[in-house]
Amino acid sequence: MEASSSLAHHITFLCQRLDAKIRVALIENDSDIPLHDSADSYNTLLSLICNVLNTAISEGQYDVIIAMLVALQTLMRQASAGWVKLDDRTVKDTRLLLWKLINTAVGTAGAEVQLEVCNVLKAGLEVLYPNAVERSALLMLLLTEGESTPNMGSLLDLLLTDLAEDIMSVDPGVTVKER
């Protein structure tokens, strides 16, 4: 348990560092910067992260859950920037796993998990919900259940402005990539 916790902290640190480098590159270059790995390796990475997340959830390893959610944030930012193309099936499975986490997170550790899930959803909004119709459905879900469901309030607060602006700025059914 101690080794997995130490590894989880190391993964979290490395992902945060990579994420910071990506943000700096975006600011400095303001262009598409393709990463060196193939799309297949990113789909494999996403599947591995989800497998580790499922195991960590079943074993109650919150440090590992947090580390994998931080890794997901980094991967989702890369996919949102267009650097990575992820398989639709894997993305849907990831979305379901994130909803499972947000609906079951409880207690002090659960609040931290919930925050990181919200951050993953925000970072990967365009990937997890690729068109205005899906984002509208998410917005309606959050508006109708957000305040009545304890774990959705923070997600509603985090995503409401972004979702509303995004929906108002595109035609229904148009994907982010088509803009």
> For residues 1 and 61, is the Cβ–Cβ distance under 8 A?
yes
Is the same domain home to 62 and 148? no
Count CA atoms closer than 13 A to 37's CA, side-chain side: 13
What is the pLDDT at residue 95? Answer: 93
Is the same domain home to 27 and 109? yes
69: in domain? yes
Which residue positions in the chain have pLDDT lower than 70? 1-40, 105-109, 146-147, 149-151, 163, 166-167, 170-179
Task: Give the range of the structural domain holding residue 17, as residue numbers without chain letter.
Answer: 2-116
What is the pLDDT at residue 2? Answer: 65
Closest Cα partner for 60 from 3, 10, 105?
A: 105
Q: What is the mean pLDDT of the chain?
A: 75
The pLDDT tens digits of the residues spanning 79-126 come to: 888 777 888 999 999 999 998 888 776 666 678 888 899 899 989 988
Is the same domain home to 93 and 176? no
Number of domains in the chain: 2
What is the pLDDT at residue 72? Answer: 92
Is the same domain home to 74 and 148? no
Is the same domain home to 86 and 143? no
